[in-house]
Structure 1
Amino acid sequence: MQSNYVYDVDNNLLVDFIGKLENFEQDVNQIKKRLGIDFPLLHLNTTNHNSNNSMLSLSAKDLITELWAIDFNNFDYSVN
Structure 2
Amino acid sequence: MQRYACQHLYERPLSIDQQITIIDDNWNQVSATVANTTRLQDWLVSMSQLSVVIELLELKVVILERLESGMQLYNSN
TM-score for both structures, normalised by structure 2: 0.27
Tell which has more relative contact order, 1 or 2 (C-alpha 8 A, sep 6+).
1
Query: Considering only CA atoms, is the larger Rg found in Structure 1 or Structure 2?
Result: 1
When you count strand as a share of all residues, which structure comes out higher?
A: 2
